[in-house]
Amino acid sequence: MNKTIDTILGHYSVRKFADKALTEEELAVLIKSAQAASTSSFVQAYSIIGISDKQIREKISAIAGNQAYTVQTGQLFIFIADLARHQAILEREEVDIEALSTSEKSLVAIIDAALAAQNMAIAAESLGLGICYIGGIRNDVKKMAELLDLPPYTMPLFGLTVGYPVANQEKAKPRLPQELIYHQNTYQKMDLAILASYDEKIKQYYNKRTSGKRVESWSEQMARGIGQKNRLDLKAFLEKQHLSQK
């Protein structure tokens, strides 16, 4: 249709990168692209920490479950929900900071950070770079916060590893049929027959991608993943950071 749409529709996560740092020019354009994203009421409530130090990358990789593509990559960015700047401004202006501790303000910061990250991801892919989000950093948010010296009113959300892809066979992973995602006017109950055909499609996708080593439907993957309670330390961490308390 056009180059932007082609880039968006051609997305797949890259998990093997050349051992080559992004150039200063690439870094600058990626950060600028991230910052161009819409931001709720202009709050710009996020920070991005670029991790070029290999030792810190190794530590982050260990937290994230030894994901090698966080170490051998062009750059590893960590996206932080960040209301610390707002705390400083409110204190300077002698405005009560209690509002910063509400769930609404945490959500605003998390949404802002996610929009900025996805802008960066698309910009990177448009330059022929590969990307992969790294939610694994939330395996130990406390350790991440210590490692990155995070102040109160901040939370590490996810990493984004960006680099020069090493040639691979990956193809865009088929998404849910539009009928299950896009609802006309009001919410529609899920059509189980459509789900069943998608499950079959995903089974075939994994079968082909892994040469038969993994044959799993989308429903099976969800039951194994999102059906499990995990990272139960997040609530206490948010409270410690003065976030999401009301």
Ligand X SMILES: Cc1cc2nc3c(=O)[nH]c(=O)nc-3n(C[C@H](O)[C@H](O)[C@H](O)COP(=O)(O)O)c2cc1C
User: Where does this chain bind ligand X (CB under 6 A)?
Assistant: 11-13, 15, 64, 67, 132-136, 158, 173
Q: Least distance in Å: CB of 185 to ligand X?
A: 28
For ligand X, give the closer residue by CB, 77 or 158: 158
Q: Least distance in Å: CB of 118 to ligand X?
A: 8
Q: Which residues of 146-155 are buried (b: 16+ CB within 10 A; e: fewer)?
A: ebbebbebbb
For ligand X, give the closer residue by CB, 100 or 134: 134
Short-list 31, 81, 75, CA closest to 57: 75
Report the distance separating Cα 82 and Cα 149, nearest Å.
13
For ligand X, give the closer residue by CB, 132 or 148: 132
For ligand X, give the closer residue by CB, 206 or 242: 206
Report the distance separating Cα 112 and Cα 121, nearest Å.
14
For ligand X, give the closer residue by CB, 11 or 143: 11
Secondary structure of residue 118 in the 3-state scheme: helix
Short-list 42, 40, 52, 31, CA closest to 120: 31
Q: Least distance in Å: CB of 202 to ligand X?
A: 11
Q: Least distance in Å: CB of 140 to ligand X?
A: 13
CA distances from 240 to 154, 231, 235 (A): 10, 15, 9
Q: Least distance in Å: CB of 11 to ligand X?
A: 6
Q: What HEC string does 138-161 produce?
A: HHHHHHHHHHHCCCCCEEEEEEEE
Q: Least distance in Å: CB of 224 to ligand X?
A: 13
Strand order in the sheet with 46-51: 46-51, 75-82, 154-163, 130-134
For ligand X, give the closer residue by CB, 100 or 113: 113
